[in-house]
Structure 1
Amino acid sequence: MEGLEGMAVEGKRDQGSPTTTTYCVTGATGYIGSWLVKALLDSGYQVHATVRDPPKSLSLISMWTGSERLRLFQADLQEEGSFDEAVKGCDGVFHVAAPMQFSILANEDIDSYVQSNIIDPAIKGTLNLLKACLKSKSVKRVVFTSSISTITAKDSIGNWRSVVDESCQTPIDHVWNTKANGWIYVLTKRLTEEAAFKFAKENHIDLVSVITSTVAGPSLTLDVPSSIRVLLSPITGEPETFGILSAVNARMGSIALVHIEDICSAHIFLMEHATAEGRYICCAQNCQMSKLVQHLAEEYPCSNIRSVDKEDNQVPPEISSMKLRDLGFNFKYGVQNIIHETITYCLEYGILPPAK
């Protein structure tokens, strides 16, 4: 795979109307990144896709129609200047690449280890990318992929909010102190997004962030995306991912969901909407844990599905995407559609055995 940087990828032409608008997508071999590349190519855009591990991109090339408009670049967020060529000449950049580490083995000084080995490199990588955008002189907007992990449905005294919006950020000190399941990912996303907005403000970069809820639906990747593993953990019984799902439910009072197609559409929508600014929650629908398990059981009947107690509170906090909807964005998929397509994908690819 030598010579990958800047390499044009030959492929069949799609039926979209080609445009000279060029977008860069970091983390193109990940769940959201790979689907976002597909969506952009299907819409006729020129795409610069960055990959850290070139062999992982080979299986995706055949799924990306319109790939004569695609250029692949090998880049590493930890290497300053590594993204200069990838973003050169681009109109906008989608920063999707991010570490997906939820836990580590016991360490005597766990806080120091997480800060120096996980959080600091994630921040450095994002700032390296933003510096490349400054150098390019062509990038008009950066869309940053954030996470619902940066949000909490509880107020400062621990009471449930009725409506959760972009201002309801997870307190950093609380995450360090409690270390709930998935806490490393929560901190990494929260602190990286904060650093990105600070750098963008100081350097006059137009930065918008998409706060993704639990993303599911079909996948283009060879590995099962972590968000799908978390969503299906009541079926699979994986202790770590079920613990993460439970921690999300404890923090949010429900599970917020979005289809992979909708989350990519939202990224593109926010890239191109002139008045978009700041942070946007992207949640098609949220439902309580007991209701989620019920939906899973209806779609995939099995005797060993994890049971959960029905919540006392019948109305969970609303995870609001009003700010995004007010701009004119519409979601295509609801909870039942999302679960149906996720289970169908997992059955087709042998990730789940046929339901008995």
Structure 2
Amino acid sequence: MEDTLNWMKSNATYCVTGATGYIGSWLVAALLKRGCTVHATVRDLEKSKHLLSLWGGGERLRLFKADLFEEGSFDEAVKGCDGVFLLAVPLDFNVDFTKENFEDYIQANILDPAIKGTLNLLKSCLKSNSVKRVVYTSSLGTMTAKDSNGNWKSIVDESCLQEADTVWSTKAGGWIYVLSKLLSEEAAFKFAKENGIDLVSVISTTVGGQFFTSKVPASVKILMSPISGETDFYKILSAVTVRMGSFPSVHIEDICRANIFVMEHAKAEGRYICRSQTCSLSKFVNLVAKGYSYSNIERIPENNDDEIPCDISTKKLIDLGFSYKHGLEDIINETIKCCIDFGYLLPISQ
């Protein structure tokens, strides 16, 4: 790949966990196209069949049934691999909010298993004696653009992590997923440091573009929420802009390229924000409305209140040598087209 020092061997073998997910399915295809051997892990082999014709790969693709919540489940999948992409953390908004002792229920049934699952995979990597690096896909949800006094920071970089207590107390849109990512990533870096594992994290913003999954990805639903009418996802879109001061996004191809880039670059370390562009909520809604002429969505007037108060910086990744291929209009237009083809959105009227 361009701009890498390629410390991995040219015919590297990689394990992609969560291979039937949005990023995972793209990443498997991208790695096979590069000539790599891929060990793709899935929870249900039957549900992955629709991807096999897309992936191709022949003998360079091996499927493994594995479950993050079963210790040792990934031992065979990571055996002989040079690197592992950790993507297998479920994005699930279907939580029973009526449960008694709700916070204890969330801790015991969602957060603790997510942390344990992440550590189970890292333990398998440790046992492999072949894995050189693990790339963990994190989320911008783990970050904040405000300081402890509630004031906007001028620059948001990889150090601007949310406090778990703040996420618990505010319970903003998507907060359970945010907590699972925040606590899992923290546990992963702690385990990696204690056990000598080379771990790098890519902090993904909201991902859009074409998808291969059997269901519409949650991030796509967030992007399309201004025109789909799905209020729960629009609440998440709004919560992101309230917390970050703007709405950042990235194309699916670019987030996959970034994952491969930091896997193969010898000097990659720590955390990297991955976002191609960011804009105000009103500008984003208006661009979506412009791209989908079927919609009767009312345009939001743009004014001085829409000025972006801080820079969500991707400088660390760019300084390492990475460059983005896709801008915001690419992301929106390709997402709309794929959603129409899938049947999630009505065809655009002529």
In structure 1, the partner of 2:336 is 343
CA distance in 2 between partners of 1:163 and 1:122 (Å): 30
Q: Judge conservation of contact 1:87–1:132 (CA < 8 Å) in 2.
A: yes
Query: Highest relative contact order (Cα 8 Å, sep 6+), 1 or 2?
Result: 2
| Matching of residue 355 in structure 1 with residue 348 in structure 2 | yes
| Matching of residue 78 in structure 1 with residue 78 in structure 2 | no
In structure 1, the partner of 2:81 is 90
Q: Judge conservation of contact 1:288–1:316 (CA < 8 Å) in 2.
A: no
Q: Of 137, 140, 155, which aligns to 2:132?
A: 140
| Matching of residue 193 in structure 1 with residue 185 in structure 2 | yes
Q: Of 177, 182, 197, which aligns to 2:174?
A: 182
Alignment partner of 1:353: what SS?
A: coil
What amino acid maps onto 1:186 in structure 2? V
CA distance in 2 between partners of 1:317 and 1:266 (Å): 23
CA distance in 2 between partners of 1:309 and 1:280 (Å): 34
Structure 2 gaps, min length 5:
1-8
Per-residue deviation, residues 141-183 of structure 1 (Å, max 9, x unmatched): 0000100000111111111112111011112111111111111
| Matching of residue 60 in structure 1 with residue 54 in structure 2 | no
State the identity %.
63
Structure 1 residue 103: Cα displacement: 5.5
Structure 1 residue 248: Cα displacement: 0.8
Larger CA deviation: 308-317 vs 199-208: 308-317
In structure 1, the partner of 2:260 is 268
CA distance in 1 between partners of 2:94 and 2:101 (Å): 14
CA distance in 2 between partners of 1:305 and 1:67 (Å): 46
In structure 2, the partner of 1:327 is 320
| TM-score using structure 2 length | 0.94
Structure 1 residue 349: Cα displacement: 2.2
CA distance in 2 between partners of 1:178 and 1:161 (Å): 19
Matches within 5 A, 1:6-155: 19-102=10-93, 104-105=95-96, 106-155=98-147
**Residues 124/170 of structure 1: CA separation in 2 closer, same or farther (3 Å cut):** same
In structure 1, the partner of 2:153 is 161
Per-residue deviation, residues 287-312 of structure 1 (Å, max 9, x unmatched): 11000011101111244326556461
Aligned residues: 339
Matches within 5 A, 1:173-322: 173-305=165-297, 308=300, 310=302, 312-322=305-315
What amino acid maps onto 1:277 in structure 2? E
CA distance in 2 between partners of 1:304 and 1:230 (Å): 18
Structure 1 residue 217: Cα displacement: 0.1
CA distance in 2 between partners of 1:20 and 1:315 (Å): 44
| TM-score using structure 1 length | 0.92
**Residues 245/306 of structure 1: CA separation in 2 closer, same or farther (3 Å cut):** farther
CA distance in 2 between partners of 1:330 and 1:65 (Å): 28
Structure 1 residue 102: Cα displacement: 3.2
Q: Judge conservation of contact 1:93–1:143 (CA < 8 Å) in 2.
A: yes
In structure 2, the partner of 1:13 is none
Structure 1 gaps, min length 5:
1-17
Structure 1 residue 93: Cα displacement: 0.2
CA distance in 2 between partners of 1:349 and 1:315 (Å): 34
What amino acid maps onto 1:324 in structure 2? L
Alignment partner of 1:63: what SS?
A: helix
CA distance in 2 between partners of 1:290 and 1:94 (Å): 35
Larger CA deviation: 167-176 vs 61-70: 61-70
